[in-house]
Amino acid sequence: MSADLPMVLVVEDEPDLADLYATWLRDEYRVRVAYGGREALDELDDEVDVVLLDRRMPDLSGDEALTAIRDRGFGCRVAMVTAVEPDFDIVEMGFDDYLVKPVSRDSLKETVENLLRRSRYDDGIQELFALASKKALLESEKDAATLEAHEEYQELTERVRELRSDLDETLTSFDEEHDFTAMYRDLGEETDFEDDNSE
């Protein structure tokens, strides 16, 4: 397999599930598999582009592994792939996307593709994608009254608004040859970005 293909690290403590995810991805990516959080940190290096990370693992939780990944300064994108329903604790977590099990082959591959696409953007745009994903995730899981009552959600909403405003200013300085149409489309799928700006 070509060394030019992106590298995906699958981290899952259920071996059958880990191997299934790896099988789904191997036709398009190089894949490493780790059957626990500590093993994941051993497998992690600068070659890894995307990490698919379970949250509940006995040796080192996905939350702890995620913190270690970010503390070590790796630039990979991380998606939590977990049976843990999202709550307001996700706001402070450093992941880029969040999938709730059970996960289909298509949704797993689409997540990896989206994360690889995001990696081409600068840090501000990547942060906007990650925060917008968290905002959309909370909105899909919580009712409006619960969201309004939580300070974390309000701060998240304000940060997304600030980043969108900064992005608008940045884009005015670029010409139309750049692939910003696709970037807006990608962002719009997760944040209703285009709808908000067409009112």
pLDDT, tens digit only, all 199 positions of the chain = 566 899 999 999 999 999 999 999 999 999 999 999 999 999 999 999 999 999 999 889 999 999 999 999 998 999 999 998 888 878 888 898 999 999 999 999 999 998 998 777 767 787 888 888 889 889 999 999 999 999 999 999 998 998 888 777 655 554 343 444 444 445 554 444 334 444 4
Residue whose structure tokens are 């905002």: 135
- Angle, helices 180-191 vs 151-171, to 10°: value is 160
**Does 163 map to a domain?**
yes
Number of domain units in the chain = 2
Peptide bond connecting 102 to the previous residue in cis, omega within 30 degrees of 0: yes
Per the structure block, which two tokens stand in for 72?
A: 């070590």
| 95/18 same-domain check | yes
pTM of the model: 0.68
Same domain, 96 and 160: no
Pair (107, 150) in one structural domain: no
Indicate whether 2 belongs to any domain: no
Distance CA 109, CA 28 (A): 9
For residue 162, tell me if it sits in a domain. yes
Are residues 154 and 96 in contact, defined by beta-carbon separation less than 8 angstroms? no
- The whole domain housing 157 covers 123-197
- Same domain flag for 31 and 45: yes
Q: Is 1 part of a structural domain of the chain? A: no
